Amino acid sequence: MIWPYVIGIVIFLVGLMLSIALHEIGHLVPAKRFGVKVTQYMVGFGPTMWSRRKGETEYGIKWLPLGGYIRMIGMLPPRPSDAPGTLRSVSTGPWQGLIDSAREVALEEVRPGDEDRVFYRKPWWQKVIIMSGGPAMNFLLAFILFGVVLMGFGIQVQKNEIASIPQCVKTAADYVKNPECTAADRPSPASAAGLRPGDVILSVGGKPTATWEAASRAIRANGAGPVEIGVRRAGQDITLNATLIAQDRESLDEPGKIEKGVGYLGVSPTTVIERQSFGAVVEHMGDLTSATAASLLRFPEKMVGVWNAAFSGDERDKNGPIGVIGVSRIGGEIAASAAPLENKIVIFINLLAGFNLAIGLFNLLPLLPLDGGHVAGGLWEGLKRGFARVTRRPTPGHVDIAKALPLTYAIAFVMIIMAGLLMYADLVNPVRLSG
């Protein structure tokens, strides 16, 4: 049936819209707190679906759930030459004319009495708080959602106890032909060493292994050859001698990457569902933040892969960029799957949490028109004013981000192209959970 798929898409889009709404609230609340006049608070882009005015602000929802914005008056300062007692300069070039037009549009909303309510005249630290409030809300929402999963539902934890041992070593092709072990098949190193399900691995090569991951890394690092495996069996500690073989295995640090010729024992861990502590949530958030930030640094390279997937039919990288359409399709795939309801809920929450984390980090890039560009401008203004205060120089004016508008438009154009490419790739060659 298609209805579960459609419902999954709708549920994720609702979660996305709520995330965007909270992001904009992260800007709205400090802006109003610091006295900036906000004329619009909108979730989405395009034609207005619904709106209502309360006080001086129009609150509304637009049809395209591709972002949102708040409209603050006076984002750009007037030209220095427009100050009283100075001559008005004449624009001499297309870029200067563009900048001047943007200034005029920004100042059109400033009414008599609003002079102290414009954004550009606020102290630098207030600008930083206002513009970083959106990403901060994304981070907070991601942390709460990850907390719900880890502390509320729990996660699968691999124990040092062995769950199963293959009796022989087969290639994938041989396994397809005959999944049963025969006398011609090579015994697995674990089976040949006498390891049994229920054994708890205590050490590898004489080095204690407190976790399954530590044991796996030690086995891989040993490579092919003999190694001592310390286990606890029925309450007794014993040492078994195993002869590892070399195999190509997926990397523990970089999913999708294959490590050549690592040590292979042939054991599977026992997995249990355990609720985690608050500290585990903090650690999980930190690990994912580092991994996501590293992915953003490789974003241009990843977009090349998206291009190849869209136009050359290459396989889509599951760890690469994905747009709103692609993530929504994954939401539909989750809802339509045969997984238990609790598992579907956990995957949905994780998906939304990861999306918020990625959006928060992306928005902090120090580039206009992203929030991070405005944050960088505020910090630069604070640095200049602090330096002037220390050196007893005249206080410099407000940072004029209007001068960066040509670069801003160029970056915005590139972002629109990338968003269009992601949308196209998500339609013709989407990322799928299965297959």
pLDDT at 112: 86
pLDDT at 38: 95
pLDDT at 87: 39
Tell me the residue range of the domain where 258 lies: 156-274
**d(C-alpha 342, C-alpha 434), whole Å:** 19
Q: Tens digit of pLDDT for each residue in 91-150? A: 445 556 667 677 777 777 888 888 889 999 999 999 999 999 999 999 999 999 999 999
**Is 24 noted as a catalytic residue in this protein?**
yes
> What confidence tier does 90 reach under pLDDT thresholds 50, 70, 90?
very low
pLDDT at 243: 93
* Residue 105 lies inside a defined structural domain of this protein: no
* Residue 78 lies inside a defined structural domain of this protein: no
Return the percentage of the chain with pLDDT > 90, whole number.
47
* Residue 163 lies inside a defined structural domain of this protein: yes
pLDDT at 86: 40
pLDDT at 181: 83
Tokens standing for residue 209: 């292994």
Tokens standing for residue 17: 């819209």
What is the widest separation between alpha-carbon atoms in the chain? 99
| Residue 36 scores a pLDDT above 60 | yes
* Residue 303 lies inside a defined structural domain of this protein: no
| Residue 11 scores a pLDDT above 90 | no
Higher pLDDT pick, 135 / 45: 135
Judge whether 383 and 419 are in contact, CB under 8 Å.
Answer: no
* Residue 298 lies inside a defined structural domain of this protein: no
* Residue 167 lies inside a defined structural domain of this protein: yes
Q: Tens digit of pLDDT for each residue in 379-406? A: 999 999 999 999 989 988 888 887 877 8
**d(C-alpha 136, C-alpha 246), whole Å:** 46
Question: What's the structural domain count of the chain?
Answer: 1
Q: Tens digit of pLDDT for each residue in 176-230? A: 677 788 877 888 899 999 999 999 999 999 999 999 999 999 999 999 999 999 9
Amino acid at 417: I
pLDDT at 375: 94
Q: Tens digit of pLDDT for each residue in 263-304? A: 999 899 999 999 999 999 999 999 999 988 988 888 888 888
Judge whether 157 and 271 are in contact, CB under 8 Å.
Answer: yes
Predicted TM-score (pTM) above 0.85: no
Residues in CB range of 299: below 8 A, 6 or more apart:
321
| Residue 259 scores a pLDDT above 90 | no
Instruction: State the CATH number of the domain containing residue 260.
Output: 2.30.42.10
Q: Tens digit of pLDDT for each residue in 345-376? A: 998 999 899 999 999 999 999 888 889 999 99
* Residue 260 lies inside a defined structural domain of this protein: yes
Residue 14, classed as helix, strand or coil, is helix
> What confidence tier does 434 reach under pLDDT thresholds 50, 70, 90?
low
Q: Tens digit of pLDDT for each residue in 304-352? A: 888 988 888 888 887 778 887 888 888 888 888 888 888 889 989 998 9
* Residue 195 lies inside a defined structural domain of this protein: yes
CA torsion, ordered 233, 238, 243, 245, to nearest 10 deg? 40
Residue 186, classed as helix, strand or coil, is strand
> What confidence tier does 48 reach under pLDDT thresholds 50, 70, 90?
very high
pLDDT at 76: 82
